[in-house]
Amino acid sequence: MKLWGGRFEKATDKTVDDFNSSIRFDQRMYRQDILGSIAHVNMLGKCSIIPMQDAEIIKNTLQDILNDIEAGKITFEIDAEDIHMNIEKILISRIGNIGKKLHTGRSRNDQVALDIRMYLKEEIKVLIKMLCQLEEALLSLSEKHLDTILPGYTHLQKAQPITLAHHMMAYFQMFKRDIERLQDCYKRTNIMPLGSGALAGTTYPLDRKMVASQLDFDYITYNSLDAVSDRDFAIELLSCLSMVMMHLSRFCEELIIWSSHEFSFVEMDDAFSTGSSIMPQKKNPDVAELIRGKTGRVYGDLMGLLTTMKALPLAYNKDMQEDKEAIFDAVDTVRLCLPVFTSMIETMKIHKENMYKGAQGGFTNATDVADYLVKKGLPFREAHEVVGKMVLYCIQHNKSLDALTLEEYKQCSVIFEQDVFKAISLQQCVADRNLDGGPSKEAVLTSINIGQTFIEKSKSLL
Ligand code: ARG
């Protein structure tokens, strides 16, 4: 018989049992469900809503059930629908009538909202920790490559020389924003919904704040209808995670390009590459490709949940049971991707010489030739045109800007002197971009320092 079977004359059709049941995927919230119930029953006892001795018995039995689940001694039943009713059923089977008092003043609607919030609070912390580890890997790569010059691109065309440290710190900034977004999302997850009942609260004098403080929630919800039908925090998390994956996918794409034979800027460690079943020479960046690929499923999870929630009338609707698979899938996927990505970049080989060669081609110092003229008094637009013509001349004569003779320079503009060669060396081009946020060694060191402080602080909040 179902826990809610009182008003029914017939058993549920078998297909409906299977269809309705969420135990297959929500059983992973067993710990949150039991801890939530323990806090609830503690409060019921303390507020004399049920006798204190009964509360004690329920609490101890719930603790036993938790231990038994963790020891693998319990199998859940499809018929009992979800994790909430499975646990309540086991409780009742062990202590009979006393167990039937647990659900006083509570509904599965506020219970499931509580469980998801508890589950996600823990997951957000794990995700932030993993992002901090990735950030630390980026900081240490950057410290090692403050002088490693490579071409920066726009439109995937060589643009201006930068350093590998500067490039890595660009990703540092993206993941820093991801951490900040998760910290912010945590605030809206950290709100305790129990006491909202099915939708309209309850007539029992529950002490909601007592439950919140036992479960380490900083706030309680202030509208029972909203509290049971709100999944904003989950959608927010999926959006944060989509952004993390978007950043990872951009990074992966660059690493895939960089490890192509044409670039040969980096080489993934053997432990993070795979071969081909037919082509013996192949070493493929599968890990990076798979992370790039998995980005799609996390976006899918976000779109799926947004669409599930679209136009749902207040308050709880069964549609909302669909939230869990999307949430779990996205969290699992990001938890899978982050550590493997971090280890991959920590172990990859960096071919500095190829990066430098890459920066030498493609007239990456053309802007600096123009800036040279500007510093000697020519208006920028005129300097731009002079250098544009020089580039054309170089292309026609198959030369680079720094391979031109001083005579050739002077034919383009009389302003040029011998010192132009130093001014347009790649090292100088980078060193001269010495403003906050720029690629010079000093500027990157400043952002590394600011970054380190941020990571230390974020770790201390966990
Ligand atoms: N398994 C349900 C879910 O995940 C729990 C809440 C069910 N509430 C209800 N009134 N049917 O949403």
pLDDT over threshold 90, residue 422: yes
* Token pair in block for residue 329: 């899938």
Amino acid letter, 360: Q
- The predicted model gives 317-326 an average pLDDT of 98
pTM above 0.85, yes or no: yes
Same domain for 270 and 378: no
Arithmetic mean of pLDDT, 131-144: 98
Tell me, what's the pLDDT at 435?
97
In a domain, 431, yes or no: no
For the domain that residue 380 is a member of, what is the CATH number?
Answer: 1.10.40.30
User: If pLDDT is split at 50, 70 and 90, which confidence band does 238 have?
Assistant: very high
Last residue of a domain, one of 333, 358, 383: 358
Tally of structural domains, the chain: 3
Segments forming the whole domain that contains residue 72: 5-104
Give how far Cα 46 sits from Cα of 102, 107, 210, 375, Å: 13, 20, 10, 78
- Residue with CA at minimum distance from ligand 1 atom 4: 321
Domain end (from 358, 376, 392): 358
* CA-to-CA separations, 234 to 26, 184, 185, 377, in angstroms, rounded: 15, 13, 9, 58
The protein residue whose alpha carbon is closest to atom 11 in ligand 1 is: 318
Q: Is 137 in the same domain as 280?
A: yes
Determine the average pLDDT of the residues in 216-241: 98
- What is the per-residue pLDDT for 185? 98
Separation of CA 138 and ligand 1 centre (Å)? 43
Give me the mean pLDDT over the 8-17 stretch: 90
The per-residue pLDDT for 462 is 94
Query: For atom 3 of ligand 1, which residue has the closest CA?
Result: 321
Distance from Cα 226 to the centre of ligand 1, integer Å: 15
- The pLDDT value recorded for residue 283 is 84
CA 320 – ligand 1 centroid, Å: 8
- 291 belongs to a structural domain: yes
Q: Which residues contact 98 (CB under 8 A, 6 or more apart)?
A: 54, 57, 58
CA nearest 365: which of 330, 404, 339? 404
Q: How far is the CA of 108 from the centre of ligand 1 (A)?
A: 6
pLDDT one-digit tens code per residue, 272-301: 988 888 888 888 999 999 999 999 999 999
Residue of 109, 194, 308 to test ligand 1 pocket, by largest number of atoms within 8 Å of CB: 109
Q: Which of 155, 261, 277, 460 is catalytic?
A: 155
Q: Is residue 198 part of a domain?
A: no
Kindly list the protein residues whose Cβ atom lies closer than 6 A to any atom of ligand 1.
22, 26, 82, 108-109, 112, 316, 318, 320-321
99 shares its domain with 73: yes
Asked if residue 370 and residue 252 are part of one domain, the reply reads no
Predicted confidence at residue 3, as pLDDT, reads: 84
Q: Are 224 and 199 in contact (CB under 8 A)?
A: yes
Over residues 21-79, the pLDDT tens digits come to 999 999 999 999 999 999 999 999 999 999 999 999 999 999 999 999 999 999 999 99
**DSSP bridge partners of 162:** 150
Name the residue at shortest CA distance from atom 12 of ligand 1.
321
Shared domain check, 376 and 258: no
Stated length of the chain? 462
- Residue in 114, 321, 323, 328 to alter for ligand 1 test, most ligand atoms within 8 A of Cβ: 321
CA of 190 to the centre of ligand 1 (A): 21
Distance between CA 285 and CA 239 in Å, rounded? 27
Are 298 and 388 part of one and the same domain? no
- The answer to whether residues 379 and 230 belong to one domain is no
In a domain, 436, yes or no: no
State the distance from the centre of ligand 1 to the C-alpha of 77, rounded, in angstroms.
Answer: 16
CA distances 102 to 76, 99, 313, 331, Å, are 19, 6, 29, 31
**Is 140 tagged catalytic?**
no
pLDDT exceeding 90 applies to what percent of the chain? 94
Do both 231 and 338 map to the same domain?
A: yes
Residues 169 and 120 in one domain: yes
Residue 284: CATH number of its domain: 1.20.200.10
As a whole number, the mean pLDDT across the chain is: 96
Atom number in ligand 1 closest to CA 83: 1
CATH number of domain containing 49: 1.10.275.10
The answer to whether residue 267 is domain-embedded is: yes
Q: Name the residue of 12, 32, 78, 82 to mutate for ligand 1: max ligand atoms within 8 A of Cβ.
A: 82
Q: Quick one: average pLDDT of 85-90?
A: 98
* Closest atom of ligand 1 relative to the 81 alpha carbon: 1
Q: Would residue 155 show up in a list of annotated catalytic residues for this protein?
A: yes
Catalytic residue among 48, 140, 260, 276: 276
In a domain, 455, yes or no: no
Together in a domain, 303 and 354: yes
Query: Which of 1-15, 193-207, 316-330, 409-423 comes out lowest in average pLDDT?
Result: 1-15
Q: How far is the CA of 214 from the centre of ligand 1 (A)?
A: 24
If you take atom 1 of ligand 1, which residue's CA is the nearest one? 82
Task: Give residue 405's identity as a one-letter amino acid code.
Answer: T
| Residue 175 and residue 57 share a domain | no
Lowest average pLDDT, out of 21-30, 87-96, 361-370, goes to 361-370
Question: Alpha carbon 165 to chain centroid distance?
Answer: 22
Q: What pLDDT was estimated at residue 366?
A: 93
173, 235: one domain? yes
| In-domain check, residue 439 | no
Q: Which of 104, 131, 156 is the last residue of a domain?
A: 104
Question: Does residue 454 form part of some domain?
Answer: no
Q: How many CB atoms lie within 10 A of CB 408?
A: 16
Report the pLDDT averaged over residues 221-228.
98
Pairing of strands 157-163, 149-154: antiparallel
